[in-house]
Structure 1
Amino acid sequence: MSATPKTIAIVGAGIVGVSTAIWLQRDGHKVILIDRLAPGEGASHGNGGVLASCSVVPVTGPGLLRKAPGMLLDPRQPLFLKWGYLPKLAPWLVKYLRHANASDTRRIATALTGIIGDSLADHQALSAGTGAEGYVVPADYVYLYKDRAAFEADSFGWGLRRDLGFRWDEMNGEEWRAYDSSFSEQIGFAARLGNHGRISDPGAYVKTLARHVEAQGGQIIRAEASGLAQEGGVVTGVRAGGELIACDAAVLVMGAWSKGLADMLGLDVPLESERGYHLELWEPSVMPRAPVMVASGKFVATPMDGRLRLAGILEFGGLKAGPSKAPFDLLRRNIKTAMPGLTWKHEVEWMGHRPAPADSIPLIGAVPGAKGAFLGFGHHHVGLTGGPKTGRLLAQLIAGRTPNVDVTPYSPSRFTKTA
Structure 2
Amino acid sequence: MTSIATRKHAIVIGAGIVGVCTANALLDKGFTVDVFDPAEPGSPDQCSYGNAGGICPGSCLPNAMPGLLKNVPQWLLDPEGPLFIRLSYLPHALPWLIRFVLAGRKSRVEKISQAMIDLHRLSFEAYEPMMAEAGCLDLLQKRGQLFVFEREDGPDGSAYGLGLRRSHGVKIETLNAGDIQDLEPALTDRFKSAIYLPDQGQSPNPGRLVAELAKLATKKGARFHREPVTGFTYTLGEATGITTASENYTADRIVLAAGAWSADLARQLGDRIPFETERGYHVMLPQADTGLKVQTISADRKFVASPMEDGLRLAGTVEFAGLKAPANYKRADILVKQAQGMFKRFEKSEVHRWMGHRPGTPDSIPVIDASKRHKRVLYAFGHGHQGLIGGAVTGRIVADMASGLPAPIDMSPFRLDRFGFKYL
Q: Which residue of 2 aligns with 1:135?
A: 139
> Please, which moves more after superposition, 190-199 or 25-34?
190-199
Q: Which residue of 2 aligns with 1:346?
A: 350
Higher strand content, 1 or 2: 1
Q: Which residue of 1 aligns with 2:422?
A: 417
Looking at structure 2, the residues matched to 167 and 160 of structure 1 have their Cα atoms a distance apart, in angstroms, of 11
Q: Which residue of 1 aligns with 2:63?
A: 59
> After TM superposition, what 4+ stretches of structure 1 lie above 4 angstroms from structure 2?
1-4
**Alignment partner of 1:197 is 2:231:** no
Q: Which residue of 1 aligns with 2:41?
A: 39
Letter in 1 for 2:392: P
**Alignment partner of 1:270 is 2:270:** no
Query: What is the deviation of 1:7?
Result: 0.5
Looking at structure 2, the residues matched to 147 and 64 of structure 1 have their Cα atoms a distance apart, in angstroms, of 20
Letter in 1 for 2:388: L
Looking at structure 2, the residues matched to 222 and 11 of structure 1 have their Cα atoms a distance apart, in angstroms, of 11
> Please, which moves more after superposition, 135-144 or 113-122?
113-122
**Alignment partner of 1:317 is 2:310:** no
**Alignment partner of 1:249 is 2:253:** yes
Asked whether the equivalents of residues 235 and 247 of structure 1 are also in contact (C-alpha less than 8 Å), the reply is: no
Normalising by structure 2, report the TM-score. Answer: 0.94
Question: Cα–Cα, structure 1 residues 241 and 262, in superposed 2: closer, same or farther, change >3 Å?
Answer: same
**Alignment partner of 1:165 is 2:169:** yes
Asked whether the equivalents of residues 120 and 195 of structure 1 are also in contact (C-alpha less than 8 Å), the reply is: no
Query: What is the deviation of 1:233?
Result: 4.5
> Please, which moves more after superposition, 114-123 or 167-176?
114-123
> Deviations for 1:149-193, whole angstroms, at most 9, x for unmatched residues?
111111111111111111111221112211112112120112111
Looking at structure 2, the residues matched to 369 and 125 of structure 1 have their Cα atoms a distance apart, in angstroms, of 35
Counting matched residue pairs gives 419
> Please, which moves more after superposition, 17-26 or 200-209?
200-209
Looking at structure 2, the residues matched to 236 and 115 of structure 1 have their Cα atoms a distance apart, in angstroms, of 29
Q: Which residue of 1 aligns with 2:10?
A: 8
2:30 to 16, 28, 31: 28
1:295 to 292, 299, 306: 299
Looking at structure 1, the residues matched to 142 and 301 of structure 2 have their Cα atoms a distance apart, in angstroms, of 25
Looking at structure 2, the residues matched to 53 and 77 of structure 1 have their Cα atoms a distance apart, in angstroms, of 28
Normalising by structure 1, report the TM-score. Answer: 0.96
Letter in 1 for 2:214: A
Q: How does 1:11-410 map to 2 (within 5 A)?
A: 11-41=13-43, 42-410=46-414
Question: Cα–Cα, structure 1 residues 2 and 18, in superposed 2: closer, same or farther, change >3 Å?
Answer: farther
Query: What is the deviation of 1:106?
Result: 1.3
Query: What is the deviation of 1:337?
Result: 2.8
Query: What is the deviation of 1:19?
Result: 0.2
Query: What is the deviation of 1:37?
Result: 1.1
> Deviations for 1:239-279, whole angstroms, at most 9, x for unmatched residues?
11241112111000010110111111121101000000111
Looking at structure 2, the residues matched to 32 and 404 of structure 1 have their Cα atoms a distance apart, in angstroms, of 25
Q: Which runs of 5+ in 2 are unaligned?
A: none
Letter in 1 for 2:356: G
Asked whether the equivalents of residues 175 and 195 of structure 2 are also in contact (C-alpha less than 8 Å), the reply is: yes
Looking at structure 1, the residues matched to 56 and 341 of structure 2 have their Cα atoms a distance apart, in angstroms, of 23
What secondary structure sits across from 1:28 in the alignment? coil
Looking at structure 1, the residues matched to 117 and 302 of structure 2 have their Cα atoms a distance apart, in angstroms, of 20
Identity between Structure 1 and Structure 2 (%): 33
Looking at structure 2, the residues matched to 252 and 285 of structure 1 have their Cα atoms a distance apart, in angstroms, of 40
Looking at structure 1, the residues matched to 270 and 388 of structure 2 have their Cα atoms a distance apart, in angstroms, of 28
> Deviations for 1:188-228, whole angstroms, at most 9, x for unmatched residues?
11211122211121111111111111111110011111112
Looking at structure 2, the residues matched to 67 and 2 of structure 1 have their Cα atoms a distance apart, in angstroms, of 57
Letter in 2 for 1:161: R
